[in-house]
Amino acid sequence: MSRLNLDDFSDLIERPDNGVRRDAEERRERQSVPPGALGRLDELATWLSAAQGANPVRAVERPRVVLFAGDHKVAGLGVSARPAASAHTLVRSVLEGESPVAVLARRQGVPVRVVDAGLDCDPALLPEDVVRHRVRRGSGRIDIEDALTVEEAEAAVRLGVRIADEEADSGTDLVVLGDLSVGGTTPAAVLIAALCGTDASVVTGRGGAGIDDLAWMRKCAAIRDALRRARPVLGDQLELLAAVGGADLAAATGFLLQCAVRRLPVILDGVVSSACALVAQRAAFRAPDWWLAGQSSGEPGQAKALDRMALNPLLDHGVTVGEGTGALLALPLVQAAAALAAELPERADQRTDGTQESVEE
């Protein structure tokens, strides 16, 4: 098998249908509620209409939460509020319906899929359908060693591609993407700093669980050291993911790229999914046209990544828990935008063909 080249995705990804977008905008001009009165809901509806290639826009009826799970050995440096190698407890909480994303998903009737790309635990602790995808047990300590071999990085990207194909083939019409990781915000910050050309302190946040000042300084130092290892491989996205990413991040990157290939819209959650999106954008510049930023998590690295991709978050509620929670909170907005665009009537002075009736003086 020849080595995967992420740049090849650029030739496979097309932009959402601009003709349909224009038709949707014209249809919106004819509706009873004045254009602009619904704020960003108008923008969301035309984006979704173009992504679907459908006017009127179709309702989002089969959304799915997809969570890539993994542990990162850099967590052993004390850069996370959670113990190293404990991400399997987050997975278990989701599976048992006790985590924030599980509660919200149950309330909204949205199924949740968890994919173990690189958890550091005995596979017997979790169901077979979760652990059967695992690329390796935990990702390397990126400040002093590679997260993955290049072969493992390729396997993880291919895993993400396969999951995207499975979702598209099963009829999923929108994905809420999140992560279940311990230490994952550290490699995410490294990827963002490397791709944006910034220093460690600019992208170092407190993580989903929150850390104190001493842990923040340890995290900043780890990101600084990992950045030195990242810069020599910036020209190759696969080598970059191998050097300073991780199995879960590489899988999410492949997933995002293939979702764009399959014309499957995605709502991004926090800094981890945003970092993966930034790597994917580096490989295929049209890919971000298929994504929405669900929320601003307050992580400085996420803000940097979203700015680079020109994605404007839908929500800013300070949700830092991760797991796709903030992105799932944005899903009802997208569904509301689709419903309003499809169901609001046209004004009485409009014909069914969109032309105005003449009015006698």
Residues taking part in catalysis: 323
Q: Are 170 and 249 in contact (CB under 8 A)?
A: no
Q: Are 312 and 20 in contact (CB under 8 A)?
A: no
d(CA 293, CA 295): 6
Query: Token digits for 277?
Result: 């999106």
d(CA 22, CA 46): 8
d(CA 291, CA 13): 13
Instruction: Give, to the nearest 10 degrees, the angle between helix 247-261 and helix 271-283.
Output: 60
Query: Token digits for 207?
Result: 């993580």
DSSP assignments along 118-157, one per residue: E--S-GGGS-HHHHTT--SSSB--TTTS-SS-HHHHHHHH
**Strand ranges in 73-190 using DSSP code E only, listed in sequence order:** 112-118, 174-182
Q: Are 223 and 190 in contact (CB under 8 A)?
A: yes
Asked if the bond preceding 56 is cis, omega within 30° of 0, the reply is: yes
- Bridge partners for 346 per DSSP: 31
**End-to-end distance of the chain based on CA atoms, in angstroms?**
74
Comparing CA positions, the residue from 333, 328, 299 lying closest to residue 210 is 299
Radius of gyration of the chain (CA): 21
